[in-house]
Amino acid sequence: MQAYDVVVLGAGTGNMVLPPPTGGKRVAIVEPDRFGGTCLNRGCIPSKMFVVAADTATTARRAARLGVHASVDRVDWPAVRDRVFGRIDPLHKSAVDYRHAQGVDVFTEPARFVGPRQLMVGDEVISGETILVVAGSRPVVPEIPGLADVDYHTSDTIMRIDQRPESMIVIGGGFVAAELGYVFEAFGSDVTIVHRGPRLLMNEDEHISERFTMLAAERHRLVLNSDVVRVDREGSGIAVTVKGPDGESVLTAETLLVSVGRRPNTDLLDVAAGGLEVDGHGHLRTDEYGRTGVPGVWALGDVANHYQLKHMANAEGRTVLHNLARPDDLRALPSLTAPHAVFSEPQIASVGLTEQDARARGIDFQVAVRDYASTAYGWGLEDTTSFVKLLAEPGGGKLLGAHLIGPDAALLIQPLVQAMALGQTARQVAQDVIYIHPALTEVVEQALLGLLD
């Protein structure tokens, strides 16, 4: 059995928190797939590169409202795909070579715990004085009758297909459905989204979810309040039987994308054999500093938290690195301000409490909503559907939540995220900051001032 000072499970965020060998320490990293993890290879980064191309096509088609007459001759799917993965795929080998050059042992076979701080990697058992479990998550594949007998895709595979499908059915109504449904629609596919809820993006503020669903219905066929009964082959495509308020119906398409959520990879690691505990969702239990119940074993990212956000994993990684280096000065993992964005059309960004959350918790709050159209730049965009919604303590107190839908939402929300993280009040951010005119940030300013009315 090889003994290491540090073993890192997972080379996504795990590759970022991997300490280099120093002072004779032995360091190993285990990654049975590709360095870079989900974010780089099949998640955040490639999907946003596709979104950039989709935005370009969408902007051209909508330019006539500005007096600019443009059209999209065609979308070369292989060229779009190869631009994305031609940039991404070489990074795996360079990352492995870099770690080898540092003196890090790289294991490329799956690992599982066989005892506290002991792992079976392939046919070899290794141990670690310190083990960082950063093994990520994977798409959930629901138990739908017939699904295993047809060709279907998840977010892991859909972006690497050889040809754009003429038609696609998407099962699910969350981030992946919103983003990739938009991408394929913008490139010319006929997209149908089947969702068991009454709206898409149900976890967003209800006002945001309702507006997004209304706009999505203009691009896609939405089959809401419906469950998938079974999936069958239909010629060269697939048939999806759904049951909704009006009974059963059959939908057909060339391609099926399943996007109903993600699950932590703890079940692949046999974590119980390592003495590690999981919660009801399968996430590793840790304390506020990232420590599991086994001394020397730490966990972070999707395998341990419920955010499923790379920026939260990155922030946790920085915290755990600090805690490893300074055990007498431990820092708590970030949790109070966890922003997110949906890079669809329109774009969405959110942080903090939704209105329905605040009401359910009995929290006293006030709300302000401002349309993009109320600003000069909004006029320039000819925007009629985008808005900013803010929640704060009454009297211009601390911001409780911010929810944006529209162009550049993920950028516009950042000063609000900062204000919430630093404990600034709505009054401070509204009155003590000068906003550039006529920038789009004025819609944030107007919403903040609305909290003072």
182/235 same-domain check: yes
Q: What is the DSSP string of 33-58?
A: S-TTHHHHHHSHHHHHHHHHHHHHHH
Does residue 38 fall inside a structural domain? yes
Between helix 175-186 and helix 206-216 the angle, nearest 10°, is 30
Tell me: pLDDT of 336 over 80.
no
pLDDT value at residue 269: 98
Does residue 223 fall inside a structural domain? yes
Please, what is the average pLDDT of the chain?
97
Catalytic residue, candidates 100, 281, 306, 437: 437
Tell me: pLDDT of 357 over 80.
yes
Does residue 330 fall inside a structural domain? no
93/121 same-domain check: yes
Q: How far is CA 410 from the centre of its chain?
A: 13
Tell me: pLDDT of 379 over 90.
yes
Does residue 334 fall inside a structural domain? no
Does residue 336 fall inside a structural domain? no
Q: How large is the average pLDDT for residues 399-412? A: 98
What confidence tier does 22 reach under pLDDT thresholds 50, 70, 90?
A: confident
**Among residues of the chain, what percentage have pLDDT more than 90?**
97
Between the alpha carbon of residue 90 and those of residues 28, 61, 378, 403, the distances in Å are 22, 34, 41, 37
Does residue 339 fall inside a structural domain? no
Q: How large is the average pLDDT for residues 224-236? A: 96
Tell me: pLDDT of 157 over 80.
yes
Does residue 432 fall inside a structural domain? yes
**Structural domains in the chain (count):** 3
The CATH number linked to 217 is: 3.50.50.60
* 437 has catalytic annotation: yes
77/117 same-domain check: yes
pLDDT value at residue 23: 86
Q: How large is the average pLDDT for residues 64-71? A: 95
Tell me: pLDDT of 20 over 90.
no
Does residue 402 fall inside a structural domain? yes
237/267 same-domain check: no
Query: Do the bridges between strand 111-115 and strand 118-121 make them parallel or antiparallel, or are there none, so unpaired?
Result: antiparallel
What confidence tier does 453 reach under pLDDT thresholds 50, 70, 90?
A: confident
Q: How large is the average pLDDT for residues 292-320? A: 96
Q: For residue 365, what are the domain limits?
A: 346-450
What confidence tier does 440 reach under pLDDT thresholds 50, 70, 90?
A: very high
271/246 same-domain check: no
